């Protein structure tokens, strides 16, 4: 793989994307391993499909802004609904970042990361699918998929970057990353580049974000979780 540019890891320009069908795009390194994994899952009776793939900086900004302004729901780390009007700005920020990355800080910017579900099982289940952890646990419509991925995803080069919550990003059993290529993007990202991108963006809550961005970068972007000197 060629050197990752700043615009690439920030989600501002990615020239290595290919069509993955149904409006999805993936990094060129990822499409073949994904299709092979999807085919293997189908042979085992699992309808592995994409929920989300590549998202650019502007799309991530729109997601963040909808949550900041109360146009989309906010959840706590356990997936329970929060009261938007009762939250201070810093509480709102942490609630958003538990489930949605900062623009420029999302792994979905790279085309290496995907959210997946069992489409047929969800359809048969018939409930409201919200992409929450309980749907991938025993009794949930994507439990068989979660088990299959645990046993098989590494054969195709994928792993779960958010397998458990460390006090940063919530556990996301649906989120897979193609490790070999994603590692290259991980090494390229940096706080300085993210700071400049946020400063120049149209993101809501900008002053709240910038005032604590070094801490947010470690806790959520790098997913190091809560430091010993930081309160949850």
Tell me whether residue 155 is exposed, middle or buried, using C-beta atoms within 10 angstroms of its C-beta: 0 to 12, 13 to 18, 19 or more. Answer: exposed
Q: What is the mean pLDDT of the chain?
A: 96
pTM for this entry? 0.94
Instruction: Report how far apart, in Å, the C-alpha atoms of 109 and of each of 52, 60, 232 are.
Output: 11, 9, 27
Identify which has the larger pLDDT, 6 or 3: 6
- Does 189 have pLDDT greater than 70? yes
Residue 2: band (very low, low, confident or very high) from pLDDT cuts 50, 70, 90: low
DSSP code, position 15: T
Paired tokens of 195: 């700071």
Q: Does domain 6-221 have CATH number 2.60.40.10?
A: no
Question: Quick one: average pLDDT of 142-155?
Answer: 99
Confidence class for position 1, pLDDT limits 50, 70, 90 = low
* Torsion angle of the four alpha carbons 106, 110, 111, 116, in this order, in degrees rounded to the nearest 10: -30
Under a CB-based contact definition with an 8 Å cutoff, are residues 5 and 109 in contact? no
HSE-CB for 57 with a 13 A CA cutoff: 18
Residue with tokens 């993101």: 203
Question: What's the whole-number mean pLDDT along residues 49-71?
Answer: 98
What pLDDT does residue 231 have? 47
Is the pLDDT score of 69 beyond 50? yes
Evaluate whether 127 touches 140 at the Cβ level (below 8 Å).
no
Is residue 99 within 8 A of residue 75, CB to CB? The reply is yes
When pLDDT is averaged across residues 74-98 and rounded to a whole number, the result is 95
Listed residue (204, 179, 202) closest to 93, CA to CA: 204
Output the six-digit token pair for 221: 């972007």
Domain boundaries defined on the chain: 6-221
Can you tell me the distance from the alpha carbon of 174 to that of 165, in angstroms, rounded to the nearest whole number? 14
Is pLDDT above 80 for 18? yes
Q: What contacts 182, CB < 8 A, 6 or more positions away?
A: 107, 110, 112, 113, 161
Does position 182 have pLDDT exceeding 90, yes or no? Answer: yes
pLDDT tens for each residue of 131-146: 999 999 999 999 999 9
Which pLDDT score, from 0 to 100, does residue 79 have?
86
For 198-207, the pLDDT digits (tens) are 999 999 999 9
């Amino acid at each position: 793989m060629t050197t990752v540019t700043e615009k690439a890891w920030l989600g501002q320009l990615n020239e290595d994307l290919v069509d993955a069908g149904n409006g999805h795009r993936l990094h060129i390194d990822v499409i073949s391993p994904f299709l092979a994994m999807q085919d293997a899952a189908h042979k085992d009776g699992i309808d592995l499909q994409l929920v989300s793939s590549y998202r650019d900086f502007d799309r991530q900004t729109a997601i963040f802004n909808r949550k900041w302004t109360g146009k989309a729901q906010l959840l706590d780390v356990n997936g329970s609904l929060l009261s938007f009007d009762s939250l201070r700005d810093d509480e709102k920020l942490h609630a958003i970042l538990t489930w949605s990355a900062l623009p420029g800080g999302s792994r979905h910017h790279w085309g290496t990361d995907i959210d997946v579900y069992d489409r047929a099982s969800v359809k048969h289940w018939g409930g409201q699918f919200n992409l929450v952890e309980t749907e991938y646990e025993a009794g949930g419509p994507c439990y068989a998929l979660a088990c299959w991925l645990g046993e098989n995803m590494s054969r195709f080069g994928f792993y779960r970057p958010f397998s458990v919550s460390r006090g940063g990003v919530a556990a996301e059993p649906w989120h897979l990353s193609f490790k070999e290529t994603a590692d290259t993007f991980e090494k390229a990202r940096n706080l300085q580049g993210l700071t400049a991108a946020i400063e120049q963006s149209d993101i809501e809550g900008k002053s709240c974000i910038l005032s604590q961005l070094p801490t947010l970068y470690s806790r959520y972007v790098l997913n190091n979780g809560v430091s010993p000197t930081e309160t949850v």
